[in-house]
Homo-oligomer: A and B are copies of this chain.
Amino acid sequence: MPTAPHLLNPAEKLDWLRLIRSENVGPVTFYQLLARFGSAAAALEALPEIARRGGRDRALTPCSLAAAERELAALDRAGARLIAWGEPGYPPALAAIDDAPPLLSVRGDVPLLQRPAIAVVGARNASANGRRFARDMALQLGQRGLVVVSGLARGIDAAAHQGSMPTGTVAILAGGIDAVYPEENRDLHEAIAEHGALVAEMPVGTVPQARHFPRRNRIISGCALGVLVVEAALRSGSLITARFALEQGREVFAVPGSPLDPRCRGTNDLIRRGAALTETAEDVLAQIETQLKPAPPARRDHVPAVPEPPPSGDGEVDAARRRILERLSPAPVPVDELIRECQLSPALTLNVLLELELAGRLERQPGNLVALL
- Chain A residues within CB distance 8 Å of chain B: 129, 132-133, 255-260, 264-265, 268, 271-272, 277-280
Q: What is the oligomeric copy number?
A: 2
- Pick from B257, B265, B278: contact of A257, CB under 8 Å: B257
- Pick from B132, B133, B256, B280: contact of A256, CB under 8 Å: B256
A272 to B257, CA, bound (A): 14
- Pick from B129, B256, B258: contact of A271, CB under 8 Å: B256
Residue on B nearest A129 in the bound complex, by CB: B260
Residues of B with C-beta under 8 A to A132: 260
A83 to B238, CA, bound (A): 55
- Pick from B268, B271, B272, B279: contact of A259, CB under 8 Å: B279
A131 to B220, CA, bound (A): 39
Residues of B with C-beta under 8 A to A260: 129, 132-133
Pairwise interchain contact B259-A133, C-beta atoms closer than 8 A: yes
Give 8 A-B pairs besides A133-B260, A259-B278 with Cβ atoms closer than 8 angstroms: A133-B258, A256-B259, A256-B277, A265-B279, A268-B277, A268-B279, A271-B271, A271-B277
A275 to B278, CA, bound (A): 15
Residues of B with C-beta under 8 A to A129: 258, 260
Smallest CB-CB A-B distances: 8 pairs: A256-B256, A259-B279, A272-B277, A256-B268, A257-B258, A271-B277, A129-B260, A268-B279
A265 to B259, CA, bound (A): 15
A120 to B257, CA, bound (A): 19
A133 to B129, CA, bound (A): 20
Residues of B with C-beta under 8 A to A272: 277
A-B contact pairs, 28 of them (CB 8 A): A129-B258, A129-B260, A132-B260, A133-B258, A133-B259, A133-B260, A255-B258, A255-B259, A256-B256, A256-B257, A256-B258, A256-B259, A256-B264, A256-B268, A256-B271, A256-B277, A257-B257, A257-B258, A258-B258, A259-B278, A259-B279, A259-B280, A265-B279, A268-B277, A268-B279, A271-B271, A271-B277, A272-B277
